[in-house]
Amino acid sequence: MTSATSSPSAWSPSATSLLVTGTIGIDTVETPSARAERVLGGSAAYFAAAASRLGPVRLVGVVGDDWPAHHRTILEGLPGVDLRGLEMRAGGKTFAWGGKYLANMNERETLFTELGVVADAPPKVPTAFHDSGLVFLGNTHPAVQIGLLEQVPNRTLAVADTMDLWINIAHDELVHLLSKVDGIVLNDSEAMHLTGIRNAVTAGRRILGYGPKFAVVKKGEHGAVLVHRDGVAVVPAFPAEEDMVIDPTGAGDTFAGGFMAHLARTGRTDLETLQAALSWGTVMASFTISSFSLDAVARATAKDLDERYRRFAAVARV
């Protein structure tokens, strides 16, 4: 097994297994024109749906015993999603989230957040997953992320997501997490919040000072910037027409899923591969926004994905 500091070329085929930790949620989403009630959501669900389109993915998460059976059916129907790390906690309530998008579909209000089992002890990484090579730590308290990370000692690459809340209330733990991961994925507003720097490139550069090799600064409809020790890459979002945008929920998580899964399947983490991975993240996000829940990502055929990738490469060619 290779250590976390090995060079990309040291990867073994078995080290490319991909693990995601995060939430499985019950989402209720309102948009100006439609509403989806108690649909499958959560960062790990979105991530896994996207990642599974490119290769196998191991999911670690926890639900309550109120978890709808048809949500499990959806996840089980995704080829390549290994659910042995999905814990159903008796007597617990599944994480539930309600949000409402404003008319421009870029701003949203959170209507409610019911943490349920997510507020209790985090799930354990099952022994069968301890040898995972790539780890993506979905957004949660950074101390929990560190605890999950330590259960995957043979990882070659760990990437974490975070959010404003932890920058506010767990800043020191977040900085500690940053010293332990290889990459961080966060929104431009979060990067600014963490660093006090509005410029996405410079904010990303500052974050590298905390330890990671790279930072992916997501800008929603404006794409993303990758700031890496070895250089910079920038990718626009897929130029979606207004009527293509049904529900942006999960776009960032599926971006991360496509991004990480491309690294997993290539077994490489050099700058050039990370740059290509940005495009796969973008392609996955472009499907996600075009439906409620993870329907569109789950439904897209390999041909659909390839066509969207080619179309993206054509419209974004410089």
Q: How far is the CB of 104 from a second copy (least distance, A)?
A: 4
User: Which tokens is 129 given?
Assistant: 């997953």
Query: What's the rounded Cα separation, in Å, for the pair 230 and 186?
Result: 19
Binding mask 87-126 for a second copy (x = CB under 8 A): ----------------xxxx--------------------
Q: Is 222 in the site for a second copy (CB under 8 A)?
A: yes
CB of 14 or CB of 202, closer to a second copy: 202
Choose which of 201, 208, 210, 267 interacts with a second copy (CB under 8 A). Answer: 201
Spell out the residues 6+ positions from residue 178 whose beta carbon is closer than 8 angstroms to its own. Answer: 160, 184, 207, 210, 211, 212
Q: Where are the alpha helices (DSSP H) in 5-106?
A: 43-51, 69-76
Q: How far is the CB of 190 from a second copy (least distance, A)?
A: 16
In the beta sheet, which residues pair with residue 187? 218
User: Which tokens is 180 given?
Assistant: 């332990």
* Among 131-139, 168-176, 217-225, 254-262, the segment contacting a second copy (CB under 8 A): 217-225
Q: Is 248 in the site for a second copy (CB under 8 A)?
A: no
Spell out the residues 6+ positions from residue 121 whose beta carbon is closer than 8 angstroms to its own. Answer: none
Q: How far is the CB of 244 from a second copy (least distance, A)?
A: 9
* Among 51-59, 90-98, 142-150, 239-247, the segment contacting a second copy (CB under 8 A): 239-247
Q: Is 317 in the site for a second copy (CB under 8 A)?
A: yes
Region of residue 49 (left: phi > 0; alpha: psi -120 to 50; beta: else)? alpha
Spell out the residues 6+ positions from residue 76 whose beta carbon is closer than 8 angstroms to its own. Answer: 83
CB of 94 or CB of 279, closer to a second copy: 279
25: part of which helix (H) or strand (E)?
Answer: strand 25-30
Choose which of 175, 240, 267, 270 interacts with a second copy (CB under 8 A). Answer: 240
Residue list 270-289, contact with a second copy (CB under 8 A) = 275, 278-279, 282
- Are 155 and 183 within 8 A, CB to CB? no
Q: Is 202 in the site for a second copy (CB under 8 A)?
A: yes
- Are 309 and 301 within 8 A, CB to CB? no
Catalog residues that contact a second copy under the rule CB under 8 A: 103-106, 197-202, 205, 219, 221-223, 225, 231-237, 239-243, 245, 275, 278-279, 282, 312-313, 315-318
